[in-house]
A and B are shown apart, each in its own frame.
Chain A
Amino acid sequence: MKFVTAIIKPYKLNEVREALTSIGVQGVTVTEVKGFGRQKGHTEIYRGAEYVIEFLPKIKIEAAIPSDLLEQVVAAIKKAAQTGQIGDGKIFVFDLEQVMRIRTGETGSDAI
């Protein structure tokens, strides 16, 4: 089993969700996050004052998936979230040791 975390542009969330459900991903967790990468921040002007906004708003998507789905999932997120501009985000992949569905007590890939 794998655990995929993707940081994407907020307005790409719907496209990424559709891409993931269409290839059979059963569920994701979404968090509104802030951070910076190579894009750094951007400047906002309020009357006479210019502020560098250092932490930009992003969306973090987390999904637990069977290992055989990994390549498709990574490709789907990449395709849906990519604009080609700086700030498109990143995908992190981890090995997943254990999963349990709390309601039934099922474990392993049955629980995903």
Chain B
Amino acid sequence: MKKTIPFLCAMLFVVLFVNFAGTAFAADVPVPDKGDTAWMIVATLLVALMTIPGLALFYGGLVRTKNMLSVLMQVFTVFSLCMVLWVVYGYSLAFTEGNAFFGGFSKILLSGVTVDSVAATFSKGVVIPEFVYIFFQATFAAITPALILGAFAERMKFSAVLAFITLWFTFAYLPMAHMVWFWAGPDAYTDADAATKAGAIAGFLFQKGAIDFAGGTVVHINAAIAGLIGAFMVGKRVGYGRESMAPHSLTMTMIGASLLWVGWFGFNAGSNLEATGLAALAFGNTMTATAAAALSWMFTEWVLKGKPSMLGAASGAVAGLVAITPACGWVGIGGALVIGLAAGVVCLWGVNGLKRLLGADDALDVFGVHGVGGILGALLTGIFANPDLGGGGVYDYVANQVADYSTSAQMISQLWGVGTTVIWSGLVSIIAYKLVDMVIGLRVSEDEEREGLDTTSHGESAYKY
């Protein structure tokens, strides 16, 4: 009995101490919320669904029967390739501290990342597991190069595709993601001095104040420029402008466009990184702009060409998705409606007047939809993020409130974003295509192209009659 009392006292002390220490520890190191984590796992799966099979079917339906499998294979393989590259060095180069353009090598092969590692969100004291963040970002890194494939579809060598994508992923995607998205996280912005220090390690365009909620610059403009340059450098398809190159299955294209639409909620609302009201706003903006763009493309086409087409409605929806991507967490529903309506009309011009003006055989209109829609969205974000126009404004993490909004200053930031992406992606693309052309050669032979890539490149055919 005598011994038991001191023992109990000691036990009580230990329990209390651990308890207090635990409380103090929890206050310093935020723990991920299960709701946020669950939402982000779902969002990651939705973005994966956009590429496989969404984008693959959207693009696949638009090519001729003889090239169906080549498109499916290119999308499927590029998705797999970029996932592996992301784990090996991509995440580290994009999302660790380095200079304003590239990250560092500290997380090569995800070294040091454990189940307890956390990544910042956009709220102070709120984190998500780093593994979720890594693979959420991985799906972005995989769909972006896959978007390019539509521009040079039906004629490029499979080996050249893989070589080009590896180069472009490394030297265009990773630095763009770092420039736009890498920052120290909101908790670093405790006061003005800390904010200056934190700001100095952020990516180049983050420092310029360019806002891009879900990747209008990093994903869409970036990929579209690579596609346009590819259409020029790979050259036109044999028979372009003389033979019919009509889509072989708009049914597949409609299924693909719908999967893109659904998956895009992971892309846009998931980019909020938390399951909050802002995620719901991004969700609503995505729904609104996409529906508006599908209608505006369809009605414009109906007036100008006489018939409202399925391909027009599907293309309009994708144009709306692209345009709302940078804006979805910054603008209000009214802004989303205007952005969507504008995207449908402007991107229809992108695949008609502008396409003829450019003269390149951008086979599946990557530039007309993703480039034009991406630039339009990036610029309109600067206008409709204004709280006077129903937008949310830009949050000041030092003052902990929404900052005063200057449309002109924000437009300059947005132009920095667009201009940097166009020039960076353009230069990397030109060099990468040139290198691949010298080492491997970009195109298949004319006979192989006429016979179709399915049998000549892959030894299979998509359909058995």
Residue numbers of A with Cβ under 8 A of B are 44-49, 51-54
A-B contact pairs, 22 of them (CB 8 A): A44-B246, A45-B305, A45-B307, A46-B247, A46-B309, A46-B311, A47-B311, A47-B312, A47-B348, A47-B351, A47-B352, A47-B368, A48-B352, A48-B355, A48-B365, A48-B368, A49-B246, A51-B245, A52-B244, A53-B244, A53-B246, A54-B244
Residues facing A in B227-244 (CB within 8 A) are: 244
* Number of residue pairs A-B, CB distance < 8 angstroms: 31
Residue numbers of B with Cβ under 8 A of A are 244-247, 305, 307, 309, 311-312, 315, 348, 351-352, 355-356, 365, 368
Which chain A residue shows the least CB distance to B369?
A47
**Complex: how many Å from CA A44 to CA B247?**
11
Q: Smallest CB–CB gap between B382 and chain A, Å?
A: 28
User: Is the Cβ of B352 less than 8 Å from the Cβ of A51?
Assistant: no
Residues of B within 8 A of A47 (CB): 311-312, 315, 348, 351-352, 365, 368
**Complex: how many Å from CA A54 to CA B244?**
9
**Complex: how many Å from CA A107 to CA B356?**
64
**Complex: how many Å from CA A52 to CA B247?**
13
Residues of B within 8 A of A52 (CB): 244
User: Is the Cβ of A51 less than 8 Å from the Cβ of B307?
Assistant: no
Which chain A residue shows the least CB distance to B250?
A46
Which chain A residue shows the least CB distance to B312?
A47
The 4 closest A-B pairs by CB, nearest first: A48-B352, A51-B244, A47-B351, A48-B351
Residues of A within 8 A of B244 (CB): 51-54
Which chain A residue shows the least CB distance to B247?
A46
**Complex: how many Å from CA A44 to CA B309?**
10
Residues of A within 8 A of B352 (CB): 47-48
**Complex: how many Å from CA A88 to CA B341?**
42
Residues of A within 8 A of B246 (CB): 44, 46, 49, 51, 53
User: Is the Cβ of A45 less than 8 Å from the Cβ of B309?
Assistant: yes
Residues of A within 8 A of B365 (CB): 47-48
Q: Smallest CB–CB gap between B447 and chain A, Å?
A: 23
Q: Smallest CB–CB gap between A42 and chain B, Å?
A: 12
Known contacts A53-B244, A53-B246; A48/B311 CB under 8 A = no
Q: Smallest CB–CB gap between B465 and chain A, Å?
A: 11
**Complex: how many Å from CA A11 to CA B265?**
41
Which chain A residue shows the least CB distance to B350?
A48
Residues of B within 8 A of A45 (CB): 305, 307, 309
Residues of B within 8 A of A53 (CB): 244, 246
Q: Smallest CB–CB gap between A53 and chain B, Å?
A: 7
Which chain A residue shows the least CB distance to B305?
A45
Q: Smallest CB–CB gap between A40 and chain B, Å?
A: 14
**Complex: how many Å from CA A30 to CA B448?**
34
Q: Smallest CB–CB gap between A13 and chain B, Å?
A: 19
Q: Smallest CB–CB gap between A24 and chain B, Å?
A: 34
**Complex: how many Å from CA A48 to CA B359?**
12
Residues of B within 8 A of A54 (CB): 244
**Complex: how many Å from CA A54 to CA B311?**
21
Q: Smallest CB–CB gap between A22 and chain B, Å?
A: 33
Residues of B within 8 A of A49 (CB): 245-246
Residues of B within 8 A of A51 (CB): 244-246
Residues of A within 8 A of B245 (CB): 49, 51
